[in-house]
């Protein structure tokens, strides 16, 4: 089974990649920047998900290879410390949506022939902050981008079902990472273990699902 994980060089993405590799899967992990991660057992590829040329080069490098599972994990949260009065400048919106939404779509679009070949699965890492049932205020850009990723996943699930491709959208939990902070609820190992179980359970009967890392159905 070949698994592609974007943003696999740190946090939940790295934990997912290492767990999948330890379970005997062929893992292709992506990283942004010039420094290739020093982690064995993973086939590393440079990818800036927000850059069309980088996406094209990545897809070309994987041409002809079947992909059983694509995990769109790469994401950014750029607005910490912003205030409603005068904050949330346009470049923050542009950069966040370029990664969290457009980047997800371009990755799926570029690798769709590989996924269709194996009737594989697509997992989109969104967030509970995408749900319209959770609106405590703040984090406007991140919430909007993750809501868009959720909507994207739901529509892709409809379009790809006839191809035998299942799409799931997931909340990874509030995880102790650079993004989640030290006061978060769960470790990267707990999140990765739970998410892998969700990916394994994903099928055409559950395509379009929005679930938490521990298997709870999350309201949209």
Give me 145's structure tokens: 């981008």
Say which residues have a Cβ less than 8 Å from residue 62's Cβ, sequence separation at least 6: 4, 28, 45, 111, 114
* Spatial distance between the Cα atoms of 66 and 63, rounded to a whole number of angstroms: 9
Closest of 154, 150, 129, 151 to residue 140, by C-alpha = 129
170 part of the active site:
no
Closest of 205, 139, 210 to residue 172, by C-alpha = 210
Q: How far apart are the first and last CA of the chain?
A: 31
Closest of 6, 150, 156 to residue 75, by C-alpha = 6
Give me 130's structure tokens: 């995408």
Q: Which residue has the tokens 């102790």?
A: 176
Catalytic residue among 31, 77, 142, 170: 142
Enzyme catalytic residues: 142
């Amino acid at each position: 089974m070949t698994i592609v994980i974007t943003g696999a060089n740190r946090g939940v993405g790295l934990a997912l990649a290492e767990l999948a590799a330890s379970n005997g899967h062929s893992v292709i992990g992506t990283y942004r920047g010039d420094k290739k991660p020093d982690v064995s057992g993973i086939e590393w590829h440079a990818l800036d998900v927000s850059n069309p040329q980088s996406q094209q080069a990545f897809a070309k490098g994987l041409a002809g290879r079947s992909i059983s599972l694509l995990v769109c994990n790469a994401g950014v949260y750029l607005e910490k410390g912003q205030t409603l009065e005068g904050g949330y400048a346009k470049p923050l919106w542009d950069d966040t949506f370029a990664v969290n939404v457009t980047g997800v779509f371009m990755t799926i679009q570029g690798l769709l022939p590989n996924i269709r070949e194996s009737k594989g699965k697509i997992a989109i890492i969104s967030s509970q902050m995408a749900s319209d049932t959770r609106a405590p205020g703040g984090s406007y850009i991140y919430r909007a981008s993750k809501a868009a990723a959720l909507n994207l996943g739901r529509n892709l699930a409809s379009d790809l079902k006839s191809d035998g491709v299942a799409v799931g959208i997931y909340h990874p939990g509030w995880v102790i990472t650079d993004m989640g902070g030290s006061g978060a609820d769960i470790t990267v190992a707990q999140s990765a273990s739970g998410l892998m179980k969700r990916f394994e359970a994903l099928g055409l009967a559950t395509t379009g699902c929005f679930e938490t890392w521990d298997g709870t159905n999350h309201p949209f």
